[in-house]
A and B are shown apart, each in its own frame.
With several copies, the nearest count.
Chain A
């Protein structure tokens, strides 16, 4: 058994500026907050970021000016608001953006995970999403073609193989065998598409725990390069079965994200002003706050 448990700062130091990182969050669920804060503190620049449905994690990275190229299927903070930093960067054309859809980005990761350099899809046709991809930086990743057996028209998608895939999970052992509770959106395909794979786990369990229900291992340990153990590592976003989203902090975030100047204040207070995720959790209200947010074992939130 290999012990792969590392600190977040240690792992982030191994991710060079210019990398393509894939983030496993979805809107306000299981976001890679601890990692993203550290990427900002270490000022990793010119990143390419890919994500199915962009959430707070990517919004933070884009707002902090670290992202050059964004590959996304959509984005929102659910009813808390849109992803202001991402949308603003797009409005002002300070970000290259390749738009896909939930299915087509999942298929691009699936192809990557399976070692296929391309995969067909029946979405995107007759849409401006496809036209814009063909006219922009996505042109090298899509191609209209026909099925050789049925003659049906398809879009062929190029596989997406991020340099580093990052996913937040509820449970991992020290080798990286991971369980994910609740729905998994594109986590499995995205994780396995990565050339490198890092997981952030709420809880580290002995391998014997994994061996009791191996059908629940979504990511097997041998694929994982590092395991970051960071309880509450996704706050203010939710982790099913562990804790609810912090609605107060999400509202505070959205208020700040609306305005570039106020966003800088947010970064100063909650990212640059914190040495690590533990200090950040203190700013969120510390033990008392996380206990308020701790999930009910039956409801999962």
Chain B
């Protein structure tokens, strides 16, 4: 996740990066004893932070067939041998995605997204340029599977208007499509529960299944949020502020988990 500065005042607290707030907010969404599937980047950083703080018995699975890795060096992706290190099991898609995810025992999926719309539908396949021209990107890999089958989905992404459109350019991974319930959609997993951006933590309304604001990060103004969101989202009367990472969380992130700032830039 490469950070390119936009038009908004992301970083009002000079000592704390937006990515650090995101990682800490992500970690708080994970509970001790849960089984999660994580994508690389901030999801992995957040899961390691959770494991080193309140959730020591978290089980982290990677779709490629790796369980509970404890990398010594920062990997560049899922295919990097660095992320295989000190795992407790090496298997493959059939085991992780079949015998765990499809089996229904994965509590949370934790992924990034290219685009996410007001019903939590995710696009990782293509971008439509203003000219109407289509540019393909990576496709689903395990994204659609995780969004379809995990008990809940947590998405972590940059907060930009074009990345949060009313409807995604390609519905790669279903959320609450057209505002319908997961039962109506014949999907086993519970669907998206949180979207963690560099401006806010978002949730989903239990009735309308549309995105709603849960908390604003410190220093972010509501107008900024609205301006940078491509759809209208439910805003509560009292808007909580996302807690900052604790001193210990910051120390772990900076000194142990991503000291070279590969993902926390």
Contact = CB atoms under 8 A, between A and B. Distances in A.
Direct contact of A and B (CB under 8 A): yes
Interface string B109-146: 00000000000000001000000011111111111110
A299 B71 CA distance: 9
A110 B145 contact: no
B185 interface: yes
Contacts of B103: 113-115, 192
A179 B174 CA distance: 37
B64 A26 contact: yes
A123 B149 contact: yes
B143 A122 contact: no
Nearest to B175: A126
B91 interface: yes
Interface in B87-103: 87-94, 97-103
A186 B188 CA distance: 23
B247 interface: no
A262 interface: no
A101 B141 contact: yes
A74 B92 contact: no
Contacts of B101: 103
Nearest to A239: B81
Nearest to B185: A126
A127 B105 contact: no
B144 A129 contact: yes
A249 interface: no
B81 A102 contact: no
A247 B104 CA distance: 38
Interface string A249-289: 00000000000000000000000000000000000000000
Contacts of B89: 177, 210, 214, 217, 220
B186 A126 contact: yes
Given A177-B88, A184-B91, A29 B81 contact: yes
Interface stretch (A13-21, A32-40, A41-49, A76-84): A76-84
A78 B148 contact: no
A83 B136 CA distance: 10
Given A123-B149, A125-B186, A75 B88 contact: no
A116 to B, nearest CB: 7
A113 B101 CA distance: 10
Interface string A115-147: 110000111111111000000000000000000
Contact of A240 (B62, B72, B84): B84
Contacts of B94: 106, 110, 114, 186, 188-189
A65 interface: no
B141 A153 contact: no
B93 A124 contact: no
A183 B118 CA distance: 36
B144 A220 contact: no
B180 to A, nearest CB: 8
Given A26-B64, A87-B135, A126-B185, A102 B88 contact: no
Contacts of A80: 76
Given A101-B145, A116-B102, A217 B139 contact: no
A73 B78 contact: no
Contacts of B35: 222
A245 B84 CA distance: 14
B52 interface: no
Interface in A185-206: 185-189, 192
Chain B CB within 10 Å, residue with most, of A73, A102, A187, A295: A102
Given A101-B143, A124-B148, A183-B92, A223 B105 contact: yes
A9 interface: no
A217 B88 contact: yes
Contacts of B72: 299
B102 A295 contact: no
A177 B87 CA distance: 11
A121 B203 CA distance: 28
B242 to A, nearest CB: 27
Given A90-B136, A183-B65, A215-B90, 9 more contacts: A53-B79, A91-B133, A91-B134, A104-B144, A115-B104, A184-B91, A186-B93, A188-B94, A217-B89
29 contacts: A73-B142, A74-B139, A75-B138, A76-B138, A78-B77, A78-B78, A87-B135, A87-B136, A103-B102, A103-B142, A106-B97, A113-B98, A115-B98, A115-B104, A122-B149, A123-B145, A127-B144, A127-B174, A129-B125, A153-B186, A192-B103, A215-B91, A217-B67, A217-B90, A220-B89, A240-B81, A240-B84, A301-B80, A301-B81
Interface of A: 1-2, 26-29, 52-55, 72-80, 82-83, 86-87, 90-91, 99-104, 106-107, 110, 113-116, 121-129, 152-153, 175, 177, 182-189, 192, 207, 210-211, 214-215, 217, 220-223, 237-238, 240-241, 244-245, 247, 295, 299-301
Q: Which 7 A-B pairs have CB atoms at the shortest separation, nearest pair first?
A: A78-B77, A74-B141, A183-B65, A301-B81, A27-B79, A217-B89, A153-B186
